[in-house]
Structure 1
């Protein structure tokens, strides 16, 4: 995957519009990749960069809404829609799909640059959250199977004695595992560990449900 700091993808079936948008963005210091169809864009390898996409709503073949839906299933790149014929139903669907903005042609340059700034800011947040989630998942995977069983019980607020009874181990063993879990998860406090468990959305072992 090629690397870049930030990139704006432009997807529009009108070649002249595509070229004009790309030239405008480059004049404003943006790195640009342009495509004349949604399928070409979806098939191209994405750059390893903070990114957003300016997407034409109405295109022959695959529509902008279809591209948005497929993109959302494999990536979290913020979308800015543009169209020559805006209509309320399409706008509502676009926004429900997570679009950052919806602009009509001819596009106002200031409005476009504001939308891009907002989209890239959102992309930076998504990128950071994705990286944090990957680190958290890697830490969780470093736990032993027993520690993975114990973590959701502790996060629920069960005492060591209660967790020991559910798992059929001694209270001392729970204490040892608890310390190891804290270290492996990089948790500086029990409150932090509870937050981490919440982000992981761990399921409590079935036997815990019957425990008073």
Structure 2
């Protein structure tokens, strides 16, 4: 992920604050997009990597509710909570829900810029992990039903003979299926196959 592709998404119902954040962040190498509500962001988000500056207190969908919706939709943007006076307990709850950090208004611009850089580094990591997960899932989809059955039994520690008895096939056939599983999943060892299996959404 390059800086030119990474976007800072600002979600805040205060137009003046959005404008000031947009102006501040235009000094960075990142794209900047702002939204007046959580719903507008959800309607327009297209899967790009980046981070989010999120107001915790907003009408309709507040910051905590948006975090929940992002989890449900597998949107893995690192979130920095922006909070006003009196909203610190909400900001703490947002941290418990996975926010990276929170800032209380008014805050120092340099502190925000440092946090955005930190969030972007985390975003790059999450984006790579998400791509790897997608590729892994696609490899799994190439397995036949029988190959998936063999894989399930292999990763739980069954020998070829035990798998053959369980599935009612010959050990030689198990060996062929097992070899195909390793090849299709691009696994170089049994340990790697076990690790891959643990990351799959079955």
What is the TM-score when the length of structure 1 is the normalising length? 0.87
Residue 93 of structure 2 corresponds to residue 93 of structure 1: yes
Residue 31 of structure 2 corresponds to residue 31 of structure 1: yes
The verdict on how the C-alpha distance between 1:86 and 1:79 changes in structure 2, with shifts beyond 3 A counting, is farther
How far does residue 89 in structure 1 lie from its aligned partner after superposition? 2.5
* C-alpha distance in structure 1 between counterparts of 2:128 and 2:146, whole Å: 30
Q: Which residue is 2:192 aligned to?
A: 192
Q: Which residue is 1:9 aligned to?
A: 9
* C-alpha distance in structure 1 between counterparts of 2:86 and 2:79, whole Å: 16
Q: Which residue is 1:208 aligned to?
A: none
Would you say how many aligned residue pairs link Structure 1 and Structure 2? 198
Q: Which residue is 1:65 aligned to?
A: 64
How far does residue 18 in structure 1 lie from its aligned partner after superposition? 0.6
Q: Which runs of 5+ in 2 are unaligned?
A: none
How far does residue 57 in structure 1 lie from its aligned partner after superposition? 1.4
Q: Which residue is 2:178 aligned to?
A: 178
SS of equivalent to 2:6: strand
Of residues 170-179 and 30-39 in structure 1, the stretch that sits farther from structure 2 once superposed is 30-39
Are 1:100 and 1:118, in contact at CA under 8 Å, matched by a contact in 2?
Answer: no
* C-alpha distance in structure 2 between counterparts of 1:41 and 1:197, whole Å: 34
Of residues 125-134 and 33-42 in structure 1, the stretch that sits farther from structure 2 once superposed is 33-42
Residue 49 of structure 2 corresponds to residue 50 of structure 1: yes
Of residues 89-98 and 156-165 in structure 1, the stretch that sits farther from structure 2 once superposed is 89-98
Q: 1:15-43: per-residue Cα shift (whole Å, max 9, x none)?
A: 11110000000022321001122222222
Of residues 87-96 and 142-151 in structure 1, the stretch that sits farther from structure 2 once superposed is 87-96
* C-alpha distance in structure 1 between counterparts of 2:201 and 2:159, whole Å: 20
Q: Which residue is 1:115 aligned to?
A: 115
What is the TM-score when the length of structure 2 is the normalising length? 0.91
How far does residue 86 in structure 1 lie from its aligned partner after superposition? 4.2
The verdict on how the C-alpha distance between 1:38 and 1:200 changes in structure 2, with shifts beyond 3 A counting, is closer
Of residues 160-169 and 104-113 in structure 1, the stretch that sits farther from structure 2 once superposed is 104-113
Residue 147 of structure 2 corresponds to residue 153 of structure 1: no
Are 2:12 and 2:36, in contact at CA under 8 Å, matched by a contact in 1?
Answer: yes
Q: Which runs of 5+ in 1 are unaligned?
A: 203-212
* C-alpha distance in structure 2 between counterparts of 1:83 and 1:66, whole Å: 15
How far does residue 12 in structure 1 lie from its aligned partner after superposition? 1.4
Q: 1:55-110: per-residue Cα shift (whole Å, max 9, x none)?
A: 11122333222222222221111111111224442122101111111101112112
* C-alpha distance in structure 2 between counterparts of 1:176 and 1:163, whole Å: 12
